[in-house]
Amino acid sequence: MAYDDDLANRIRELIAADPDVTEMRMFGGLAFLVGGNMSVAASGQGGLMVRVEPGQTEALAAEPHAGPLQMRGRAMRGWLRVDSEGVRTARQLERWVTLRRRVRALTASEAVS
């Protein structure tokens, strides 16, 4: 499955004012990097991948339409997958994109649990 172009455009509109934003195709989706660090992506599996504060991962993953991001069978601390139903409205998407703005760049070792 290819990433959702409409979702990518909606993300693009929300982060357009952020400095140092670049886009890169990765993991079958379209990732948005800030200062070279991935912060949010339109996932190739549908929905959104979003960077969150590691300490909030479990609480946010328990919310409707959200869950921990799994890579090679491992939960990625500080990362969530939000399904398409959880980003259907502008308000839903803006909430998740706003959360990723609060996160500072972390090293890869801090992201893996």
Mean pLDDT of 24-46: 91
Cβ proximity of 15 and 97 under 8 Å: yes
**Best CA proximity match to 70, nearest among 14, 11, 36, 111:** 111
Distance (Å, whole) CA 90 – CA 2: 21
Is the pLDDT at 105 greater than 50? The verdict is no
Band of the pLDDT at 1, cuts 50, 70, 90? Answer: low
As a whole number of Å, the CA-based R_g of the chain is 13
Kindly list the structural domains of the chain, giving each domain's residue range(s) and its CATH number in brackets, ordered by start: 5-105 (3.90.1150.30)
Please tell me the number of Cα atoms within 13 Å of 3 on its side-chain side: 23
Q: Which positions ≥6 away from 4 have C-beta within 8 Å? A: 42, 46, 84
